[in-house]
Structure 1
Amino acid sequence: MDKIAVLIPCYNESKTIEKVVKDFKSVLPEAVIYVYDNNSSDNTAEKAEKAGAVVRHEYMQGKGNVIRRMFREIDAEVYIMADGDDTYPAEYAREMADKVIFKKADMVVGDRLSSTYFTENKRPFHNLGNTLVRGSINRLFKNNIKDVMTGYRAFSYNFVKTFPVLSQGFEIETEMTIHAVDKNMAVENVIIDYRDRPDGSESKLNTYSDGFKVLKTIIRLYKNYKPRQFFTLFSFLLGIIALIFFVPVFITYIKTGLVPQMPTLVMCGFVVLAAIQSYFSGLILSTIAQKSKQDFEYKLVQTEDKLKEFKSENSDKKVKGGEL
């Protein structure tokens, strides 16, 4: 088991990966640097290995798939995750790792948005998207995460081994944030300087398609994690629609004693039934979600026990090594 593992998912980052690996080795000399190559068509893997990283491969395309593989394969007390594009300075890694070790944080967020992101980033729609996503999640999940979509994070062993990776692409960061908030895990923020990609390095993030996936992820996770609020809102909207169509029918009935728009009245009845069904579905699903949280707490205890076993084994090996 590693003390600190630096995890770097990569796809065609040959221009920057060597510098990124060397920077992290300089700041965290005791860490093992893992570079996971995701079907790069350039010599990213060769350069990373030359710089001293342990290179592994994930053949299913997508950042979420790479992170799933990393989290399954690597055992460490502290995980530092960063991108291979040299936009995240390595000098903040020590502070982030210390928050996991000494303050028992489960996730440490490298906060770009409170420093240089909006001046360094040259893509205005990315700026708008980050602001929109951060505001949506903080409002829906009642939290104050400073940077939802940053790729620079530190994790505890407990977080990594209990986080269900469902997203395949760049929406994985949003999923991590919502998971940590919903499961009441300890989250810390570290303000970092952000720098834009160097010349010749191209972003793999598509502003529109990946942005749409992120918004879909927020809605999906809100439905899964907060079903009572989600379905109550849906029920309220259905009730408003039924009321809008019912009022003219009711006014006609008051004036004439007749209901000439009988199909409209029948439709209103069905919409009201759908609203009632939606509301009670939310109540039932909220009970299931609460049970899921209870099961998660038991899983955390089991994961903590496994971490203690790892530490005990490492300690025994060190003692035996000293005796030899």
Structure 2
Amino acid sequence: MVDGALYRGCLGVAAVPGVGSPGLCCYPAAQSAVSGLPVSAARPVVLHQELSVPLARYGRIGAGYPACAADIRARQTLLRGDQVFKGQRISVVIPCHNEEEGIKVVLSDMPALVDEVVVVDNNSTDRTAEVARSMGARVIKETRKGYGAAYKTGFNHASGDIIVAMDGDATYPRSFIPVLLEIMDEEQWDFITCDRTGHRERGAGTFLRILGNSILNWSMFLLYFVHLRDSQSGMWVFRRHILPRFNITSDGMSFSEELKIEAFTKRDLRCTELPIYYRARIGESKLNMWKDGFNNLLFMFKKRFGLAGSASVRPFAALAQDPSLSAADDPK
């Protein structure tokens, strides 16, 4: 079991001699302290290098376990599907616009426990679709322009019981997927959004973007009483059956914040935010910082006061009626 408190507590661990390999940390002792079981009864789990990086801002939240050293070099496969998912089918949905180089990296180290990867090609002019298909992904064409439009199509084609969403630019860590899923399963979360602010690779986010994100975070709190450290994060993990309940109107970049607003304002859904490691992107950014930031802020106000309209047809309503819709043939 990967305990959520340990994860939030900067992935606190205790080294165990003779377990794993040099340079790696395992946490049976820390796990034992939480569960009350003897150390020998706690299953040792080797942590991936990225998971072992201290996330300093979460160090006071957990149970006070010592953090792994930040200079761990060794890398190993994290967890296998038979240890984590208990019969649940996992889909990863990735929207792409000219991400030929980034999608290679994303798909090359996708955990083997993922059942399917759905890549939504949103009017790419490079070889994104060809590369993704050659690496085993299902490629869906979406000609409507926009981040949200691509995600709506991808979610409607995904067949998993649990959906993982991330970008195709290699900024979000695929190695975190198994841990996020196990925490979701153990703690019975319906929706997890990921926080990039705990630890960023050098070059992953400028000062102005971080400032803009903070403004949007506070706006979401003031307007919706939803408190997130990273309201604009593009990595989420959620149970597919909750989608038909969401009234999503945005086809653009505001889709990300709107999805979170819909999830966190449903009082009967169990939603949380967990930290991840965030990398510098591969390829050219498609974001216009000032334009997209202003539009996202404006959208929050419009939605709050009923000026954003409502979806004439809820984009995911069909999923509750006809699951076979997600098995449509890939357009070539």
Global fold match (TM > 0.5)? yes
The residue number in structure 2 matching 1:211 is 293
- Give yes or no for contact 2:226–2:261 (8 Å, CA) kept in 1: no
Is 1:86 the equivalent of 2:86?
Answer: no
* Segments ≥4 residues shifted beyond 6 Å: none
The residue number in structure 2 matching 1:121 is 204
The residue number in structure 2 matching 1:153 is 236
Is 1:136 the equivalent of 2:258?
Answer: no
- Give yes or no for contact 1:141–1:181 (8 Å, CA) kept in 2: no
Q: Deviations over 1:161-205 (max 9, x none)?
A: 32233111111111011111222221122211111113xx11111
What pairs up with 1:181-196 in 2 under 5 angstroms?
181-184=264-267, 185-196=269-280
Q: Deviations over 1:52-82 (max 9, x none)?
A: 1111110101011011112222232100001
Corresponding letter in the other structure for 1:70: G
Cα RMSD of the aligned pairs, angstroms, is 2.7
5+ unaligned residues in a row in structure 2: which ranges? 1-86, 308-313, 325-332
Structure-2 separation of matches of 1:212 and 1:155? 27
Is 1:14 the equivalent of 2:87?
Answer: no
Corresponding letter in the other structure for 2:273: N
Structure-2 separation of matches of 1:133 and 1:195? 21
Is 1:3 the equivalent of 2:92?
Answer: no
Structure-2 separation of matches of 1:56 and 1:14? 15
- Give yes or no for contact 1:6–1:80 (8 Å, CA) kept in 2: yes
> What SS class does the counterpart of residue 55 from structure 1 fall into?
strand
Structure-2 separation of matches of 1:122 and 1:137? 20
> What SS class does the counterpart of residue 191 from structure 1 fall into?
strand
Q: Displacement of 1:22 after TM fit?
A: 2.1
Q: Deviations over 1:34-59 (max 9, x none)?
A: 11100100000111111111111101
Aligned residues: 229
Corresponding letter in the other structure for 2:210: N
- Give yes or no for contact 2:123–2:143 (8 Å, CA) kept in 1: yes
Structure-2 separation of matches of 1:107 and 1:120? 29
TM-score, length-normalised on structure 2?
A: 0.63
> What SS class does the counterpart of residue 119 from structure 2 fall into?
strand
After superposing the two structures, state which structure 1 stretch, 105-114 or 92-101, moved more.
Answer: 92-101
5+ unaligned residues in a row in structure 1: which ranges? 226-295, 311-324
**Whose Rg is larger?**
1
Instruction: Choose which of 20, 23, 36 in structure 1 pairs with 2:109.
Output: 23
- Give yes or no for contact 2:93–2:155 (8 Å, CA) kept in 1: no
Structure-1 separation of matches of 2:88 and 2:119? 15
